[in-house]
Structure 1
Amino acid sequence: MDKVTRFFWFCSGAHIDTLKKYPIEHNKYVGIGATIFFTALFAALSGGYAMYFVFNGDAYAVVFALLFGLLWGTAIFNMDRYIVSSIDKEGTTMQQVIQASPRILLAIMIGIVISRPLELKIFDKEIRQKLKTAYLKGQHSKIDTLQKTYNEKYTAELANTVALKQEKDSLEKDINRSRTQLNEEVFGEKNSQTSGVVGYGTYAKQKQTVLQEKQDRLKLVTDKAEKMDQYLSKRKDFEGVNDVKMFSQKQLDSLASVAGFADRNWALGQLTYNENGTRDLDTYLAISFIGYLFILFECLPVFVKLMSPKGPYDVAIAKTQEANVYYADKDKQRDMSVIDGIYDEHLDEDIKRRRRTLANRGDNDRDKHRYD
């Protein structure tokens, strides 16, 4: 537990040697450090998952995802650690908020970025179904567009084919009717179309001639229709109409599985709308609150530091910084005096006296803290 505690102290950006002197502050900085660590962990998972989709299908997709996730998580961790440790608790609440406001705005942007890949994973099943529906609609639209272009381009040929087929159907009906009349004439059946004389006579020969002419015409029309169908079929192949077919269920599953980040992100956005274009409030709120949760989680390191009260560790750090600035200024003055050839012994005495005063004040603060 001591190693875990020291690790979280390191994550919080605290000065460990100073923090050890104030046990009452230990748990607070463990909490701050844990918040920073887990925020970076979620950022690493989210970034790695997003990069996995970018390189989905590549043999090294997992390697790229791990490397980018580690890099992204480390960047977020370093930034959180620096911002939290740099918030000055000596200032007023408003000054601290103003100091942290750039980090809060950046946290909102980062929260949106890291939440999106995890939202894609949470709603993976619904996204796949939405993608399948979209792919089917897209394929329908593509087929309709190709067919419309083909019909417009070959309007005359298609009209000629329709006319030939209509003439063929008409001739087939006339031939059947003429054949029936010929048989009635040969067998001597009396009606308005026959003579009633049995045998293959003059009227029968006339009907046979008419029947033969219709059969010849039918053969000619049939040949033309077949040639036109063959021509149009070749033109369909050339125009690509025959190549585009509807997706099978297996193909749809495969397409949804290999869909890229952009397609899945689009599908997630479409989940918030019904088929009629109205807003699906339940899904919209579910997706939105997940995003808000990650934004809040990303802002937590700053909020935790802002909400934590000023403690003895903050006072000690402020005094240490004040002393370092004072010593740096005095050392600079002494160095300048040496360079100028003038050495002021009283300056050394002033520095030593100042150090003793600050040391005694620090001891008194620690004694007071232990008494409290």
Structure 2
Amino acid sequence: MKKITRFFWFCSGAHIDTLKKYPIEHNKYVGIGATIFFTALFAALSGGYAMYFVFSGSAFAVGFAILFGLLWGTAIFNMDRYIVSSINKEGTTNQQILQASPRILLAIMIGIVISRPLELKIFDKEIRGKLKTSYLKGQQRKIDTLQKTYQGKYAMELAKNSELKKEKDSLEKDINRSRFQLNQEVFGDKTNQTSGITGYGTYAKQKEAVLKEKQDRLKTVTGDMANMELYLSARKNYEGLNSTKLFSDKQLDSLANVAGFSDRNWALGQLSYNDKGERDLDTYLAISFIGYLFILFECLPVFVKLMSPKGPYDVAVSKLAEANIHLAERDKERDMAVTDNVYDHHLEADIDKRKRIITGQSEYDLSRHSYD
């Protein structure tokens, strides 16, 4: 337990030698250190999962996930440790809040970052379902777009083919009716379309000629329509209509498995809305509260440090900091004094040297004048 306690003291960023002198503060800094440690642990898990998801399918995915998870967790741990340890308890409450506000904003951003990958994992099943629906709708829209483009591009050919179909249907009906009337004429059935004379006479031959003419026309129309359909089918292949099909369940599963972070993040946001585009309050609250939980967990060490009253450890650390500052200033003044003394010594030496030079020059001038 002593080792665990010292470890959590280290996590809290406390000055351990000073903290040992005040047992009443021990539990508080154990709690702060444990919160920082577990926040970093969750950050490592979140970063590791995010990296594993990025390199999913690669042989090195696990290695990259572990390496990045450790780096990310260590970075968050170091940042949280610095944030908490740098809050000064000497000022008023408002001053402390103002001092901690940038750190709180940074903690909120960190909480959002580390919560998102874990949210993606928690709602993985729902995200897959949303992605499958999205991919299926996207494929349907693609097919509709291709169909619309095809119909606009080959409007004349489609209209001609439609006319040929209508003419073919009309000819088939006329041929059936003409064949029936020919049988009535041959067998002598009296109607307003037949003579009522039994046998293959003049009227029967006329009706047979009309029937043959319609049959010949039907052959021509059927051939033209077959050629037109072959042409349109070739155009469909060229435009991609025949090759573009709706995804099967197996294909949708594969697409959901290889979906990128952007698609999955979008799907997570769409879970908060139903099929009608209205907000689904239950799902929205479930996703939001998970994010809020991590944000609160990340901000908790700062809040604990702000809410805790100033204790003997804080006073001792403040005095220790003042003493260190005083010592640093005294050392600085001493160094400056030493520097000034050295400078004065060199200055005096330089002055003496100049005096000797000037004196020597004067004596030289006097001796020269006497010689002259």
Q: Normalising by the residue count of structure 2, what TM-score does the alignment of the two structures yield?
A: 0.86
Segments of structure 2 that go 5 or more residues without pairing to the other structure are 343-372
The Cα offsets for residues 56-83 of structure 1, whole Å up to 9 and x where unpaired, read as: 3333333332222222211111111112
In structure 2, C-alpha distance between the alignment counterparts of 1:218 and 1:256, rounded to whole Å: 52
In structure 2, distance between residues paired with 1:194 and 1:311: 121
2:337 and 2:193 map into 1 onto residues whose CA distance is 140
- Whole-angstrom CA distance in 2 between matches of 1:94 and 1:183: 109
Distance 1:102 1:27 in 2: 27
Report the counterpart of residue 361 of structure 1 in structure 2.
none
- Conserved? CA contact 1:12–1:29, under 8 Å: yes
Write the distance in 1 (CA, Å) between the matches of 2:264 and 2:87.
Answer: 39
2:174 is matched with 174
Task: Look up the SS of the partner of 2:131 in the other structure.
Answer: helix
Tell me the SS of whatever aligns to 2:191. coil
Q: Is the 8 A contact 1:185 1:203 kept in 2?
A: yes
- The aligned amino acid for 2:315 is V
User: Paired residue for 1:276?
Assistant: 276
Give the equivalent residue in structure 1 for 2:363.
none
TM-superposed CA distance for 1:97, in Å, is 1.7
Q: Name the CA distance, whole Å, in 2 between partners of 1:105 and 1:54.
A: 28
1:340 maps to which residue? Answer: 340
Residue number in structure 2 paired with 1:358: none
- Aligned to 1:247, the other structure's residue is in SS state coil
The CA distance in 1 between the partners of 2:8 and 2:30, in whole Å, is: 5
Q: Tell me the secondary structure at the aligned position of residue 73 of structure 2.
A: helix
Identify the residue that residue 240 of structure 1 maps to in structure 2. 240
For residue 175 of structure 2, give the secondary structure of its aligned residue in structure 1: helix
Task: State which drifts further: 21-30 or 7-16.
Answer: 21-30
Contact 1:136–1:246, Cα closer than 8 Å, also in 2? yes
Question: Shift of residue 140 of structure 1?
Answer: 1.7
Deviation at 1:223, TM superposition (A): 0.3
The question of 1:133 aligning with 2:97 is answered no
What pairs up with 1:281-292 in 2 under 5 angstroms? Answer: 281-292=281-292
Deviations 1:184-228 (A, max 9, x none): 323333333333333333222222222111111111000000000
Highest CA radius of gyration, 1 or 2?
Answer: 2
Counterpart residue type for residue 291 of structure 1? G
Q: Which amino acid aligns with 1:299?
A: C
Match of 1:370 in 2: none
Which residue does 1:159 correspond to in 2? 159
Q: Distance in 2 between the 1:196 and 1:120 partners?
A: 86
Is the deviation greater in 208-217 or in 312-321? 312-321
The aligned runs of 1:1-372 (5 Å cut-off) are: 1-341=1-341
1:237-280 alpha-carbon deviations (Å, 9 max, x no partner): 10111111112222222222222211121122222222222222
SS at match of 1:166: helix
Any conservation in 2 of the 1:87–1:99 contact (CA below 8 Å)?
yes
Q: Which residue identity lines up with residue 10 of structure 2 in the other structure?
A: F
After the TM superposition, which of the residue ranges 96-105 and 119-128 deviates more from structure 2? 119-128
Q: CA offsets per residue over residues 3-47 of structure 1, 9 Å max, x none?
A: 211111111111222222222222221111111111111112222
Identity percentage over the alignment? 80
2: distance between equivalents of 1:337 and 1:137? 81
Q: Could you tell me which residue of structure 2 aligns to residue 359 of structure 1?
A: none
- Structure 2 Cα separation of the partners of residues 192 and 337 of structure 1: 139
Counterparts of 1:177 and 1:336 in 2: how far apart (Å)?
124
Distance 2:190 2:95 in 1: 118
Instruction: Indicate the SS of the match to 2:292.
Output: helix
Report if aligned partners of 1:56, 1:260 keep a CA contact under 8 Å in 2.
Answer: no
Q: Distance in 1 between matches of 2:141 and 2:245?
A: 11
- How far apart are residue 330 of structure 1 and its match? 1.9
Aligned letter for 2:232? L
C-alpha deviation, 1:157, in angstroms: 0.5
Q: Distance in 1 between matches of 2:155 and 2:205?
A: 43
Give aligned pairs, total: 342
3-state SS in 1 of match to 2:221: helix
What is the rounded CA distance, in whole Å, between the counterparts of 1:340 and 1:271 in structure 2? 73
**Deviating more after overlay: 139-148 vs 332-341:** 332-341
Q: Which ranges of structure 1 fall in alignment gaps of 5 or more residues?
A: 343-372
Letter in 1 for 2:242: N
RMSD: 1.8
Cα offset, 1:158, TM superposition: 0.5
- Deviating more after overlay: 23-32 vs 73-82: 23-32
If the length of structure 1 is used for normalisation, what is the TM-score?
A: 0.86
Paired residues of 1:127 and 1:268 also in contact (CA < 8 A): yes
**CA 193–340 in structure 1, closer or farther in 2 if over 3 Å, else same:** closer
SS in 1 for 2:194: coil
Deviation string, structure 1 residues 112-171 (Cα, Å, up to 9, x no partner): 222222222222222222222222222221111111111111111011001101111111
Please tell me the residue identity of whatever aligns with 2:82: Y
Q: Tell me, in whole angstroms, the C-alpha distance in 2 between the residues paired with 1:275 and 1:340.
A: 81
